[in-house]
Structure 1
Amino acid sequence: MNATFKNDVDLGLSAPTKYLPSKYFYDKKGDALFVEIMNMPEYYLTDAEHDIFKNQTLNLISALKINKTINFDLIELGAGDGIKTKELLKTLKQLGFKFTFIPVDISQNALNNLEKTIKKELPYISMNTKQGDYFNVLEDIKWFQKPKVILFLGSNIGNLKDGKAKEFIHKLSLALNVNDKVILGADLIKPKSIVLPAYNDSKGITKRFNINLLERINRELNANFDLNNFKHQPEYNEKEGIAKSFLVSTKKQNVEIGALNKTFTFYKNERIHTENSRKYNDTIIEDITKVSKLKIIDKLTDSKNYFADYILEKTAE
């Protein structure tokens, strides 16, 4: 049993406003469901960033200002299936850059799958996988000796509240050396009509993805959540620019979690907050990065201007 998972579930469900950390979506079933989500027509984020990586690869590489004669580490935080990154890997190799690809993910299952596909599709890529969450892995990255390019794509930064995002960017900055680079993927603020369907698709895949978190608690922590007694409820406030996901109890009910030796009461319409997905503009990104020594040196957007990849550089100041 994962003791951290157990403790985080206890903390979240004991809070006055119940919540569960979104990082626990990603078990084997959750990984597969998220791949389905990324392929949904409503989920524009993947296609938008893929557009940048596929059609502006040379511009992306140029913006990084990498010294072609020096071997560097290309470290991806939250690598997932790596579909966008493969476009970059192929072009870097074709252009003769020397690097080691280091994908990092909280899901060992995701890393195993990625390693298989990289070995099959890009067998010439030097690769070392690393399992863990972002904050913990930063401590290890700090000691890597070679120049670093960090990929933090998919607007994963948006899962963090602004205060936590600032803390993360600050710690990321501390883990880098002067002139190291970051590609920070950020979903841009858009109308509700575009954003909300991405978290509430017509086939109900996002619902299954959220409900799977309760199923995981049942399986790993010996709980008795009745999955039929919870519904998926996404919300998006255009002015605030934050999409939020909730699991909502459809009735008053008690849930036992055997591993905690506790019973939790849920009232009708009581919500469990499962995820934030913040949307950005230049002002918000500048505010998040100003606490660090990471400075914006370039920005690439997709053809619809839905998504941006910001290029950050660690400065001496």
Structure 2
Amino acid sequence: MAASLPDQSSTSQPHSSISNPKNEQRTTNNEELAEHVRQGLSRQPKALSSMYFYDEVGSRLFQQIMALPEYYPTRTEFEVLTRHRAAIAQALTPADGQPFHLLELGAGDGLKTKILLRELLAAGTRFAYAPVDISPSALAGLADSLRAELPSLQVEPLTAEYTQALAQLQGQPGRKAVLFLGSNIGNFPPAERQQFLGALAAQLSPDDRLLIGFDLRKDPRQIRAAYDDAQGVTAAFNLNLLTRLNHELGADFDLAAWEHFAEYDPLTGAMRSFLVSRRAQQVHVAALGQRFEFAAWEAIHTENSYKFTLPQIEQLAAAAGLRVQQVFQDEQQWFADVLLAPAE
């Protein structure tokens, strides 16, 4: 889940027009948030970034979402990593057994990554784990928890944007094995997704590897249910964005006048979420000294989550100068962690 307008200060990269996944609390200043809202509600169609979903309440709601029976992505990727952990660890490790850097873009709490970290440590593999984020506090918290839980793990946090982190390691010996898990790649619109993959590929040496999580296309009803659960937790999560704007920017959104709407397009693989105005209304945002007009049933776009086919993944990789080496899937073939290498 997630979405965003362009924002170079985001703690949960990547940056895109409707893209920015992170299941952790986002800290920001009111000036940044206010400018984002001014831009997002002045455009047509209107859009707000779901990276701002993750205040304290939003983060708690997202934890509930991940435990819902409808929300399959998290537990399915857990299954993939658990089922194939030995093969994935071997694929990430250089054939000559030399030490390497394991970078993770957007590590979050590292819960899924620990499956691979434990496998690598148990095999006696020589590597350093480098979680990457632009938030020093988020990295410090993750590093402290890893050192306590996996004391033999060499943790080297990198405070940088994604491509900058890869560039920092260009001159160092050894392989870079890069993780981008959680189907975060699906939060990019198509053009920006291709641009992002190309930027990553440009920083990779021939022996480097890239493991990306892709949520695969499946029954459209199942996908839609994952973003519009029967208990209404996802609706509360989406609407909480308006509550946050009321609290932090002095906005006067009447939550009873808004509803969550989610729809999946099986032609494009796009899962989109919206906040829809139930009536014609004006909303005043005190921090901006500005009013915004909404027509009845006008929508604010808050999220994209694209789903993929395996041939589409191969095409994306090829266009970015990458090639698919291995595909690791769950038993039902709902999700794939795909190992990519620079094209020869």
TM-score w.r.t. the length of structure 1 is 0.90
Q: Which runs of 4+ in 1 moved over 6 A?
A: 106-109
Which sections of structure 2, spanning at least 5 residues, go unmatched? 1-28
Higher helix proportion: 1
Which residue number in structure 2 is paired with residue 189 of structure 1?
217
Among 18, 23, 45, the alignment partner of 1:17 is: 45
Among 106, 112, 117, the alignment partner of 1:78 is: 106
Partner of 2:130, secondary structure, is strand
Partner of 1:260, secondary structure, is coil
2:323 and 2:110 mapped to 1: Cα distance?
A: 26
2:152 and 2:241 mapped to 1: Cα distance?
A: 37
Count residues in correspondence.
313
Which sections of structure 1, spanning at least 5 residues, go unmatched? none
Offset, 1:277: 0.8
- Computed over aligned residues only, the root mean square deviation of the Cα atoms, in angstroms, reads 2.2
Does the CA contact (< 8 Å) of 1:162 and 1:288 recur in 2?
no
Offset, 1:17: 0.4
Offset, 1:25: 2.3
Asked if residue 99 in structure 1 is aligned to residue 127 in structure 2, the reply is yes
TM-score w.r.t. the length of structure 2 is 0.84
Higher alpha-carbon deviation: 76-85 or 266-275:
76-85
1:276 and 1:28 mapped to 2: Cα distance?
A: 22
Does the CA contact (< 8 Å) of 1:68 and 1:97 recur in 2?
no
Offset, 1:81: 2.5
Q: 1:224 to 1:99 in 2, by over 3 A?
A: farther
The one-letter code sitting in structure 1 at the alignment partner of 2:221 is: S
Asked if residue 253 in structure 1 is aligned to residue 253 in structure 2, the reply is no
Deviations 1:171-207 (CA, angstroms, capped at 9, x unpaired)? 1112222221111100110112211111011222211
Asked if residue 138 in structure 1 is aligned to residue 163 in structure 2, the reply is yes
Among 69, 74, 78, the alignment partner of 1:46 is: 74
Offset, 1:225: 1.9
Asked if residue 31 in structure 1 is aligned to residue 59 in structure 2, the reply is yes
Indicate the percent of aligned positions where both proteins have the same amino acid: 39
Structural mapping, 1:215-230, within 5 Å: 215-230=243-258
1:245 and 1:93 mapped to 2: Cα distance?
A: 40
Does the CA contact (< 8 Å) of 1:23 and 1:106 recur in 2?
no
Offset, 1:8: 2.6
1:81 and 1:143 mapped to 2: Cα distance?
A: 23
Offset, 1:2: 5.3
Deviations 1:258-301 (CA, angstroms, capped at 9, x unpaired)? 33222111122110111111000122212322232221111011
Partner of 1:119, secondary structure, is helix
1:208 and 1:111 mapped to 2: Cα distance?
A: 28
Asked if residue 265 in structure 1 is aligned to residue 290 in structure 2, the reply is no
Among 177, 185, 189, the alignment partner of 1:149 is: 177
Structural mapping, 1:283-298, within 5 Å: 283-298=311-326
